Amino acid sequence: MQQLIDGYARFRSNVFPQHSKLFERLAKGQEPQALFICCSDSRVVPEMVMQCDPGVLFPSRSVGNLVPPPTETSSGVAATIEYAVRVLKVPDVIVCGHSDCGAMKGILENEKLELLPAVRSYLEHAGPSSKWLTRLLKGATSMSFEQKLQLLTEANVIAQVQNLRVHPAVDEALKKNSVRVHGWVYDIGSGGIEQFDPAQGCFRPLLESQAGAAVSTSTEQERKIA
């Protein structure tokens, strides 16, 4: 805990004064560029990876970056999606899975969830695609656990993107072409992000799929409040 208090002290004495103009602007409102749906995992820090200031990403974090189907209106994720798309009008929604995800491991090793009824219940939202894939993978003896985990992580992102697209707010925005939906997987060990390419039916490096677009490496983009 002391580490957190010390960090807050540094924030108050150094970081906040250096960025006072930013916080002055943020105090009046927000206009985030994307709803970022990712896992609660402590090693996944979207603001650091995307190098963005407060106010840029509207995060929704839950175990396994799951998006419950729209029939479950009481979920916090559904409320976050609705608010981000209808009120904040974010132009992009990203579902971002990650390597070494405890939730995905839990699905593969179901017996480890016995003491975690809330997690197990929530993981039901991993959806039919993931359940189908999980059953398929359990019989795939030639695949290593790591290979199965990666495939399940990717399948889960695709399943959650499908759930996301049928949420009423997202469905409306998609029909008006006012929102784009993306499925990503972040690799903690390498820092790499792969994006699902629906046309090719595979995940491809995010920067490769941006080929042709200028990738800025300016100091403006590299800055980070830390």
Query: What are the residues binding Zn ion (CB under 5 A)?
Result: 39, 41, 101, 103
Question: Nearest Cα to 186, choosing from 100, 63, 81?
Answer: 100
Q: How far is the CB of 65 from Zn ion (least distance, A)?
A: 7
202 known ligand binder: no
39 known ligand binder: yes
98 known ligand binder: yes
**Given the complex with Zn ion, which of 103 and 137 has the nearer CB atom?**
103
Q: Is the dihedral of CA 138, 139, 140, 141 positive or negative?
A: positive
**Given the complex with Zn ion, which of 63 and 93 has the nearer CB atom?**
63
User: Pseudo-torsion of CA 192, 160, 92, 218, nearest 10°?
Assistant: -10
**Given the complex with Zn ion, which of 39 and 52 has the nearer CB atom?**
39
Question: For the chain, how many residues are written?
Answer: 226
Q: How far is the CB of 46 from Zn ion (least distance, A)?
A: 13
> The tokens 């399948």 sit on which residue?
155
167 known ligand binder: no
Q: Catalytic amino acids? A: 39, 41, 43, 98, 101
**Given the complex with Zn ion, which of 101 and 155 has the nearer CB atom?**
101
Q: How far is the CB of 84 from Zn ion (least distance, A)?
A: 21
Q: How far is the CB of 89 from Zn ion (least distance, A)?
A: 28
What 3 state SS string does 186-216 have?
ECCCCCCEEEEECCCCEEEEHHHHCCCCCCC
Residue 185 sits at φ, ψ, to 5 deg, of -130, 125
Binding residues for Zn(2+) are: 39, 41, 98, 101
